[in-house]
């Protein structure tokens, strides 16, 4: 029964070959018998033919089964290699896509940061001028009339549209990007008092505003240079937290790598 099960599993071409072999064998036996005068008992001849035929079928079936197993194992190995290759290609394609997305995101964020840097410089200078005006009005004993201090607004559409993709640029740089750009606001921001604000109060508020915008501009510049270091392959100048004290004290120095000083000057002037 085992041999017959093996026979069933053979390919159709092998089955045809086996059948052809048996037919040819039977014809040869018949021809040989016709050429002799030997008298062979019909029962014995039938038994001998059956034994010989079954032996041949069993041998051919065994060989066919071995070849079938080898073929199946070889095909399984080929399929496995093909799946591994396809997975590698998909992984490489995904890595290239992530790299391209990261490069594009960094470039877009740096452009937005540079634009905000210019706006922060303008806000610093404007607040400083208003503080000087308030001081001049106080010195000339001019009556105070101000009840509302209006602060400038800043918009960061690229940052807001890509909040869920910040992780592409890594936790360190991504954290600093969030720190500086989360300070933007595109809604009107006013400080209103029930009564008239004295000139000294107006001066103090505008001076504090100017200092705040100046510090923000410093942070924006530093993050822009961090992004630039990734794009140009320069050494990372460090996180905002690591460099905070040195930058506020004016003792922080950026790397002297070729092109860094020129890039720093352009960023500081608000040019990407």
Give tens-digit pLDDT for 132-156: 999 999 999 999 888 888 888 899 9
**The pLDDT value given to residue 124:** 95
Residue 122 and residue 251 share a domain: yes
The reported pLDDT for the residue numbered 219 is 93
Query: Could you give the CA distance from residue 237 to residue 172 in angstroms, rounded to a whole number?
Result: 12
77 and 164 belong to one structural domain: no
pLDDT of residue 68: 75
Instruction: Count CB neighbours of 128 within 10 A.
Output: 17
C-beta separation of 227 from 173 below 8 A: yes
Here the tokens at position 252 are 């922080």
Q: Are residues 52 and 149 in the same domain?
A: no
Same domain, 251 and 125: yes
- Can you give the pLDDT at residue 139? 92
- 85 in Cβ contact with 46 (< 8 Å): no
Q: What is the pLDDT of residue 207?
A: 94
Asked if the structure places residue 96 within a domain, the reply is no
Residue 97 lies in a domain: no
**Which of 61, 88, 115 is a domain's end point?**
88
- Domain co-membership, 147 together with 57: no
Q: Which of 88, 118, 144 is the last residue of a domain?
A: 88
Q: Which residues contact 138 (CB under 8 A, 6 or more apart)?
A: 198, 199, 200, 203
Domain boundary among 48, 65, 88: 88
245 lies in which domain range?
103-268
Residue-level pLDDT at 131:
94
Do 81 and 169 lie in one domain? The reply is no
Nearest CA to 113 among 185, 217, 243, 209?
217
Please tell me whether residues 117 and 59 are part of one structural domain: no
Global pTM reads: 0.66
With respect to residue 95, please indicate whether it lies within any of the assigned structural domains: no
Residues 80 and 215 in one domain: no
> Is residue 163 located within the same domain as residue 250?
yes
pLDDT for the residue numbered 106 = 94
Question: Which residues in the chain come in under a pLDDT of 50?
Answer: none
Whether 112 and 157 map to the same domain: the answer is yes
Three-state secondary-structure class, residue 254: coil
Same domain, 82 and 119: no
In a domain, 93, yes or no: no
Domain count for the chain: 2
* Inside any domain, residue 9: yes
Q: In this predicted structure, what is the pLDDT of residue 181? A: 95
Paired tokens of 34: 């016709």
Q: How far apart are CA 51 and CA 57, in angstroms?
A: 10
Burial class (CB in 10 A: 0-12, 13-18, 19+), 197: buried
Domain shared by 128 and 208, yes or no: yes
């Amino acid at each position: 029964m085992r041999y017959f099960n093996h026979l069933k599993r053979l390919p159709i071409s092998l089955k045809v070959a086996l059948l052809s072999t048996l037919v040819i064998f039977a014809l040869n036996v018949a021809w040989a018998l016709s050429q002799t005068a030997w008298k062979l008992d019909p029962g014995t001849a039938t038994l001998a033919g059956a034994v010989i035929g079954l032996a041949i079928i069993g041998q051919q079936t065994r060989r066919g089964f071995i070849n079938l197993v080898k073929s199946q194992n070889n095909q399984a190995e080929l399929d496995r290699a093909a799946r591994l290759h396809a997975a590698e290609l998909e992984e490489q394609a995904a890595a290239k896509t992530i790299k391209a997305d990261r490069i594009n995101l960094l470039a877009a964020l740096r452009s937005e940061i540079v634009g905000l840097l210019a706006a922060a410089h303008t806000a610093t200078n404007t607040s400083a001028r208003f503080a000087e005006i308030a001081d001049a009005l106080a010195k000339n004993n001019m009556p105070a009339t101000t009840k509302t201090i209006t602060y400038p607004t800043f918009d960061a559409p690229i940052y807001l549209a890509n909040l869920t993709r910040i992780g592409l640029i890594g936790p360190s740089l991504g954290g600093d990007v969030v720190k500086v750009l989360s300070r933007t606001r595109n809604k009107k921001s006013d400080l209103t008092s029930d009564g008239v604000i004295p000139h000294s109060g107006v001066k103090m508020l505008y001076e504090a505003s100017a200092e705040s915008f100046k510090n923000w501009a410093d942070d924006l510049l530093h993050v822009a240079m961090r992004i630039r270091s990734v794009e140009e392959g320069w050494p990372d100048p460090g996180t905002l937290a690591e460099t905070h004290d040195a930058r506020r004290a004016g003792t922080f120095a950026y790397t002297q790598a070729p092109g860094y000083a020129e890039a720093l000057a352009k960023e500081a002037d608000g040019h990407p």
